[in-house]
DNA sequence: TCGGGTTGTGCATACGCATACAGTGGCTGG
DNA sequence: CCAGCCACTGTATGCGTATGCACAACCCGA
């Protein structure tokens, strides 16, 4: 391993001078800087992040806490987040909440993470509270927790979801079903609430038996659609908590030969790339997921640079994307 | 931040004793261990990975080098790899090869990574060579490089691909087209070679104009299928480099109303979960991707523990999964 | 010509942990 | 009863970097 001491020796200076030269300290002469840079290059030197982190007390490593890496949604969230963090000179460490091991806060401390992006779905505020108590900066991504404030990037489901539902109502739908996300989820709850409000405004409501809940995954949608279809007189449109769930529902319908939108219409939320496929054509609510993820990256980094600043709450708008899975209701 | 010194003070012992007690050193009395553990728990102490890494010279952080995080294939690779690494007490750091920044080897050194899993597709052996020169352990995942040896987990396309092609031939296909992966790719090259061999054995071959190449992504498949369909007298079956590419091709066909498998049959490779959807039903070559990823994790960790041991080359078998996208050729 | 400021560099040290080594008791056996 | 050993635990140190401080050399104006 090449250390700054090796570089110092080759450049004929002291180790601290190497450190200063490479970080472009103004008190180092240009000549020395050039010599040091050359020596560093010759040896293939790169400052050791471990040593630096230990010395400065901060690290450039940022944790992303997710529930289900296998979930397609996270793919499209991790990629831009990672890209942006990398551009800002930070690294991404993935963390899943495995109940088995230590508490999140402890693991953050152990891993030496500078900050954390919380993208787990549950509103459970124990973890945020612990993070705050430990002084670990964190940012909410696509979720919030009522009791603990922090920077956040979220999505306002209202415009998109309203447009979607009003389109459905205009087409003649009256019996709506829903497979929402988990109950203790800020995003899920908000979407459900908006949906109920919009329907209510049109004198409609969700019958209790037509509303299901479950994790934001394929299986939930699949099982949900199956249940709704198995019940007598299924709803004419099923609203899903997000696209991954909707895709599960859509496939369940296709599997049993139930025409979409001929027999049931299907609505999603997120507009994942898959939803736009010619094979799928899912009608859904869209927003700029890429921008949301990048925004989260910028917020964390900003928080690290200005720890005392006021919390920022960025909200992205949504819009309705009408494709092929919402049609007129069966007569 | 809670340090081992704080724990030491509370437990009434010295800092090194804390270190030893928590790592279950045999020369520490049970009574002391208990006291230390209690103090650690009371303070919520977790050993700082930075300090530990600096002290021991090794870290538990393992890098995963990928090309395209957005790619669905990597989703199903990252998730199990991460899970396995976590179980083995290691962390995962994502690295994408952005040409802009420093060389991979330098970044590995800078990040303080203990080892690296190389899952980028290109056979370019510059990076492996540099890693070797720096003494950074690494493992090939789903790729190899001829010139530089290392532990590897790969897939043998032969059985699955042979079965797939022989089924297609038995159904009457004679004109095959292909959209393979990038040229300088060990997996892509191997699949192409196997395909050509099997076809050759049956007195068939791939016409030059029917063979395309490109990155392993959706766009490649989409463009490839479009090109093949636009040429006069397209092949009756198009073999794709992998499922992600095949899904691109499949959607391109659907978009222009070309029936699959009525007009063209489509074959993939990987058997991603999406390929099994009722909406998709892609005929493809399957293997246990989950196991492959976990195997890679175990290999890296084993390599860290026994640096001198012989390189292991694990090869997973494949099998043909006949679904709905391969039918009889159009007459 | 000399004091005060500026510029450039080295010295000393700290970060949190692990570990080689030294030391302190208590115990056993001769 | 004491040499010798073992079981514990503390002291000292190092990992690679950053940074406060001291210091040397130089410059400038009075």
Is residue B330 one of the residues assigned to a domain? no
Are A193 and A293 part of one and the same domain? no
CA nearest to A66 within chain B = B79
Rounded to 5°, the CA angle A78-A81-A83 comes to 105
CATH number at residue A22: 1.10.260.40
**Of the candidates B40, B32, B80, the residue with the CA atom closest to the CA atom of residue B292:** B80
| Closest-approach nucleotide to residue A36, Cα vs C1' | C9
Is residue B304 one of the residues assigned to a domain? yes
Coil, strand or helix: which one is A66? strand
Are B142 and B172 part of one and the same domain? no
Rounded to whole angstroms, the Cα distance separating A312 from A315 reads 10
A300: Cβ contacts below 8 Å, ≥ 6 apart = A62, A85, A90, A115, A116, A117, A137, A138, A139, A151
In a 13 Å sphere around the CA of A133, the CA atoms on its Cβ side amount to: 12
Q: Cα distance from B228 to chain A (closest Cα, Å)? A: 18
The total domain count for chain A is 3
CA nearest to B255 within chain A = A278
Given B106, B111, B279, which is nearest A91 (Cβ)? B111
Chain B residues inside the 8 Å CB shell of A273: 218
Is residue B312 one of the residues assigned to a domain? yes
Chain A residues inside the 8 Å CB shell of B54: 50-51, 54
Given A93, A109, A274, which is nearest B1 (Cβ)? A109
C-alpha distances in Å from residue A293, one per residue of A286, A305, B54:
14, 19, 32
CATH number at residue B187: 3.40.50.2300
Whether nucleic acid strand D comes within 7 Å of the CB of A9, the answer is: no
Q: Which two tokens stand for residue A325?
A: 């899975």
How high is the pLDDT of residue A102? 63
Is residue B306 one of the residues assigned to a domain? yes
Given B59, B93, B250, which is nearest A279 (Cβ)? B250
Are A220 and A294 part of one and the same domain? no
Are A25 and A126 part of one and the same domain? no
CA nearest to A279 within chain B = B251
How high is the pLDDT of residue A303? 92
Are A171 and A262 part of one and the same domain? yes
Q: Which two tokens stand for residue B227?
A: 């090109």
Is residue B272 one of the residues assigned to a domain? yes
Listed in sequence order, the DSSP H helices in chain A are: 4-11, 15-22, 30-43, 49-56, 72-87, 104-111, 126-134, 158-171, 186-201, 218-230, 243-255, 289-305
pLDDT in tens, B211-253: 999 999 999 999 999 999 999 899 999 999 999 999 999 999 9
Q: Which two tokens stand for residue A106?
A: 């402890």
Are A239 and A184 part of one and the same domain? yes
pLDDT in tens, B143-181: 888 788 999 999 999 999 999 999 999 999 999 999 999
Are B281 and B304 part of one and the same domain? no
Given A46, A53, A72, which is nearest B109 (Cβ)? A46
Are A115 and A236 part of one and the same domain? no
Is residue B331 one of the residues assigned to a domain? no
For residue A63, the 8-state DSSP code is E
Q: How confident is the model at residue B101 (pLDDT cuts 50, 70, 90)?
A: low
Rounded to 5°, the CA angle A166-A167-A169 comes to 60
Rounded to whole angstroms, the Cα distance separating B123 from B111 reads 24
Rounded to whole angstroms, the Cα distance separating B96 from A85 reads 12
| Closest-approach nucleotide to residue B52, Cα vs C1' | C17
How high is the pLDDT of residue A124? 67
Are B273 and B162 part of one and the same domain? yes
CA–C1' distance B16–C20 (Å)? 12
Which of A76, A105, A110, A276 should one mutate to test binding to chain B, selecting the residue with the greatest count of B CBs within 10 A? A110
First-to-final CA distance of chain B: 74
Chain A residues inside the 8 Å CB shell of B74: 75
Whether nucleic acid strand D comes within 7 Å of the CB of A29, the answer is: no
How high is the pLDDT of residue A273? 97
Element (H, E) at B299: helix B289-305
Coil, strand or helix: which one is A49? helix
Are A86 and A133 part of one and the same domain? yes
Rounded to whole angstroms, the Cα distance separating B257 from A128 reads 51
**Of the candidates B104, B115, B117, B105, the residue with the CA atom closest to the CA atom of residue B137:** B115
Rounded to whole angstroms, the Cα distance separating B84 from A12 reads 46
How high is the pLDDT of residue B25? 92
B28: Cβ contacts below 8 Å, ≥ 6 apart = B17, B20, B21, B36
Q: Cα distance from A130 to chain B (closest Cα, Å)? A: 10
Is residue A330 one of the residues assigned to a domain? no
Are B293 and B144 part of one and the same domain? yes
Instruction: List, as one string, the DSSP characters of B73-84.
Output: HHHHHHHHHHHH
Number of residue pairs across A and B with CB atoms under 8 Å?
120
How high is the pLDDT of residue B212? 97
| Strand C bases within 7 angstroms of protein beta carbons | 7-12, 14-20
Distance of CA A22 to the CA centre of its chain: 35
For residue A212, the 8-state DSSP code is E
**Of the candidates B301, B267, B324, the residue with the CA atom closest to the CA atom of residue B90:** B301
How high is the pLDDT of residue B123? 61
Chain A residues inside the 8 Å CB shell of B324: none
How high is the pLDDT of residue A101? 55
Which residues form the domain of B8? 4-47
Q: Which residues touch strand C (CB under 7 A)?
A: A 12-17, 20, 26-29, 31-32, 54-55, 57; B 1, 3-5, 15-16, 19-20, 22-23, 45, 47-48, 50-52, 54-56
pLDDT in tens, chain A (331 residues): 899 999 999 999 999 999 999 999 999 999 999 999 999 999 989 999 899 999 998 888 899 998 888 899 999 999 999 999 988 889 898 888 765 556 777 788 788 888 999 997 666 667 788 888 888 899 999 988 878 899 999 999 999 999 999 999 999 999 999 999 998 888 999 999 999 999 999 999 999 999 999 999 999 999 999 999 999 899 999 999 999 999 999 999 999 999 999 999 999 999 999 999 999 999 999 999 999 999 999 999 999 888 889 999 999 999 999 999 999 999 8
For all residues of chain B together, what is the average pLDDT? 92
Is residue B328 one of the residues assigned to a domain? no
Are A19 and A167 part of one and the same domain? no
Rounded to whole angstroms, the Cα distance separating B81 from B76 reads 9
């Amino acid at each position: 391993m090449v250390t700054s001491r090796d570089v110092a020796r080759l450049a004929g200076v002291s180790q601290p001078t190497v450190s200063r030269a490479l970080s472009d300290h103004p008190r180092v002469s240009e000549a020395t800087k050039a010599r040091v840079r050359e020596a560093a290059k010759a040896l293939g030197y790169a400052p050791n992040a471990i040593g630096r982190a230990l010395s400065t007390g901060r690290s450039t490593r940022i944790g992303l806490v997710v529930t289900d890496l296998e979930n397609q949604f996270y793919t499209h969230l991790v990629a831009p987040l990672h890209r942006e963090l990398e551009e800002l000179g930070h690294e991404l460490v993935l963390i899943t909440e495995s109940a088995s091991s230590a508490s999140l806060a402890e693991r953050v401390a152990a891993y030496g993470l500078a900050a954390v992006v919380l993208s787990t779905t549950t509103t459970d505020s124990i973890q945020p509270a612990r993070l705050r108590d430990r002084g670990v900066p964190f940012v909410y991504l696509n979720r919030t927790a009522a009791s603990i404030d922090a920077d956040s990037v979220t999505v306002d489901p209202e415009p998109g979801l309203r447009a979607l539902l009003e389109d459905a109502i205009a087409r003649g739908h009256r019996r709506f079903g829903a497979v929402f996300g988990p109950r203790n989820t800020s995003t899920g709850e908000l979407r459900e609430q908006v949906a109920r409000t919009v329907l209510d405004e049109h004198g409609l409501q969700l019958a209790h038996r037509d509303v299901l809940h479950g994790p934001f995954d394929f299986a939930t949608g699949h099982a949900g659609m199956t249940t709704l279809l198995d019940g007598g007189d299924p709803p004419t449109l099923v609203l899903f908590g997000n696209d991954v769930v909707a895709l599960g529902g859509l496939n369940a319908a296709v599997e049993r030969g139930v025409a979409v939108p001929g027999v049931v219409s299907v609505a999603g939320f997120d507009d994942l790339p898959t939803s736009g496929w010619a094979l799928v054509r899912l009608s859904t609510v869209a927003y700029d997921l890429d921008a949301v993820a990048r925004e989260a990256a910028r917020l964390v980094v900003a928080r690290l640079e200005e720890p005392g600043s006021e919390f920022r709450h960025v909200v992205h708008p949504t819009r309705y994307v009408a494709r092929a899975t919402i049609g007129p209701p069966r007569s």
